[in-house]
Structure 1
Amino acid sequence: MKPPVIADVARVAGVSVPTVSRVLSGSVPVGPERRARVMAAIKELGFRPNGAARALATGGQPMIAVFAGDTTRYGYASTLQGIEEAARQAGYMVVISVVETDDKRTVDAAIDHALGQPMAGAIVLEYDPPGVAALAAIPPWLPVVAAASGRPADEQVAHAFMDDRFAAARATKHLLEIGHHTVHHVAIPSPGRPSARMLGWRDALTEAGAPVPPVLYADWAPDSGYDAGTRLALDPEVTAVLCGNDELAMGLTKGLTDAGKSVPEAVSVIGFDDHPLSHLWTPPLTTVRQDFVRLGQKAFHLLNAQIDSGTVPASVRFVPDLILRSSAAPRAVHSV
């Protein structure tokens, strides 16, 4: 079947083609009843207006929208860098919209504001609850791709994703293989609990028949990692910790050290992301390296292919690497 066009929307809605165009562009007010009929027809047909073609027709530069819960954290900023680099090379302008919370009014306002311009498509950073909510709220006529930190739950949307579950399991297995009887986990916030990183950690412990300690939940700030470190230092059974990201691992090592537990002599620590400062930390962090820039570039390429073809491409999986440094050591060197 051929993809629906504006004339099909007009026919199903019982309005003229110019009326559909006005609803899509927002250039001229349209009565609420007719607008509702047009939007219902768009949803029924799965119509996707070509924002790139509209921009070319008006002499403008085609644009894509990027929705993110944050732009300051390392993974978010690096993914945005990759998107922007790839989009610029393809002749697209990128409009970034920050979605602060997953509150429906906040999400709808961010999407309405961004889509007030003739967008050719959108990329959502599905790293947190605001990202999940934004992806669910994207109108069905707009081409959309998600960048994510785990396998997609919705196969109707193309994803460029890091296989965090596999990577966390690999990091946990490494600690078990070098002699630790179990591994504790300090978790970052996630789109849902349990996160892919938590599932991978639990997979490895369960497969090895090792005890599964209670998860210690933290927020994004290194200070929460510090607090986790001071708490874990009180437990003599703690010899290895997998952290949800490198910032938490940095805070954790400081908290452990201040509480009298040296790293890695008393407790081994592994982080996640390979933050630019991780190799300069004391001791240098063993970590899971994630190429967020490449992930962002691939997310744009998937979106561009969808814009060109009108079909949803297959998702693309990235496998992070485990980078061995000094913060993780065999259990045998630990003090008894």
Structure 2
Amino acid sequence: MTDDTMSFGVERPPRRRTPSGRVSMAMVASRAGVSGQTVSRVVNGSPRVDPETRRRVELAMGELGYRPHRAARALRTGRSQTIGLVVTTLATVGNSRMLQATAEAAAERGYALTLVTAADGVASAFERLAEQEVDGAIVLNEASAQVPAAARPPGLRLVVVDAAAGDDFTAVHSDHAGGAAAATAHLLALGHPTVHHLAGPADSFAASERERGWRRSLADAGAPVPEPVRGDWSAEAGYAAAPEFAAATAVFCANDQMALGLLRALAESGRRVPDDVAVIGFDDVPDAANYRPPLTTIRQDFAALAHRAVDALVAEIEGERPASGASVVPTALIPRDSA
């Protein structure tokens, strides 16, 4: 069997390209033994193709090196097959991980990704995306708080990550409150009389939800609710906040980076973790298992979060009715040595 023969037992014609050097859709159809319309449906992600036929077409595409012509497809479908991603910064671990996960999820759905920063505000970012004729946009984390008040170009479909559900956009977020409640309950179960909280910025949806879950868990246990100490997500903020927890035996940090700074400050002051004070973070960053001690934390599933956001946006782009309310991605407690 030669390279130009498939395992179906049917000999296929040799690979021939168009005069321009491109592999045509007709060539893929001939290779897969299907019609050109079927290839078109596969290229455009239509559900009207059975799995076995789709597999044959995709195999033929791979063998021939077929790449859909984005401009031609845009003319056929009226879509650019591009989605925008709006961020305020990539300096935070959560945003950088979401960028990577969203790019991968978009590619899996056949969409390109255009990144814009909201340095001049979300409304300006929306205008730039509209000029690039994207099919829709995803707004991440800190930028999400600006969405309700921001002017938006007509017809720009929108999914907002880390926001409450809106009337004119789809919301997706991790179960921040549930994760925070689980972290707090875990510390209380270890015998701590209460749990102190190193919170995130006051204008952050994620930080507010994590604080809400922390408060709920303490209230359910009838434990005192200390005044939270507020940080800015950075390790430096965690380090600087350490004196505020001089009397604490347990601290729930709103993210792993602040927990890292707190761990360093506690070590420098001679307080042992977890013997003198237990610490739990949130996010489960890749390095969390290598903190000293390895950090007990709440894991966010960034890949699942990105796929939910991309799937929701693509569904709306392709004419499906968006689900009402917010889509919530579960979180999980990851026990290690810090608590």
Superposition TM-score, scaled by structure 2 size: 0.73
The whole-number CA distance in structure 2 between the counterparts of 1:323 and 1:274 is: 8
The whole-number CA distance in structure 2 between the counterparts of 1:106 and 1:54 is: 32
The whole-number CA distance in structure 1 between the counterparts of 2:221 and 2:198 is: 20
Partner of 2:178: 166
> CA offset at residue 262 of structure 1?
1.1
> Over residues 183-210 of structure 1, what are the superposed CA-to-partner deviations in whole Å (9 max), with x where a residue is unaligned?
0000112545770000000001111111
Residues 288-299 of structure 1 mapped to structure 2, 5 A cutoff: 288-299=298-309
Amino acid at match of 1:186: L
Partner of 2:199: 187
CA contact (8 A) 2:282 2:298 kept: yes
Partner of 1:230: 243
Structure 1: runs of 5 or more not aligned: 1-51, 329-336
Structure 2: runs of 5 or more not aligned: 1-70
Distance 1:310 1:141, change over 3 A: farther
Does 2:159 align with 1:145?
yes
Amino acid at match of 1:271: G
Alignment partner for residue 90 of structure 1, among 109, 122, 128?
109
Superposition TM-score, scaled by structure 1 size: 0.74
Amino acid at match of 2:144: G
> CA offset at residue 251 of structure 1?
0.5
> CA offset at residue 154 of structure 1?
2.0
> CA offset at residue 58 of structure 1?
9.5
* Identity across matched positions, percent: 39
The whole-number CA distance in structure 1 between the counterparts of 2:331 and 2:242 is: 25
Residues 1-336 of structure 1 mapped to structure 2, 5 A cutoff: 55-57=74-76, 61-100=80-119, 106-125=121-140, 127-128=141-142, 130-134=143-147, 136-137=149-150, 138-148=152-162, 152-154=164-166, 156-192=168-204, 195-233=208-246, 235=247, 238-314=248-324, 315-328=326-339
Q: In structure 2, the residue corresponding to 1:293 is in which secondary structure?
A: helix
> Over residues 58-88 of structure 1, what are the superposed CA-to-partner deviations in whole Å (9 max), with x where a residue is unaligned?
9995211111122232211121222111211
Distance 1:312 1:273, change over 3 A: same
> CA offset at residue 165 of structure 1?
0.5
The whole-number CA distance in structure 1 between the counterparts of 2:233 and 2:323 is: 32
The whole-number CA distance in structure 2 between the counterparts of 1:296 and 1:78 is: 10
Q: Structure with the greater relative contact order (CA < 8 A, sep ≥ 6): 1 or 2? A: 1
Aligned residues: CA RMSD? 2.4
Amino acid at match of 1:223: E
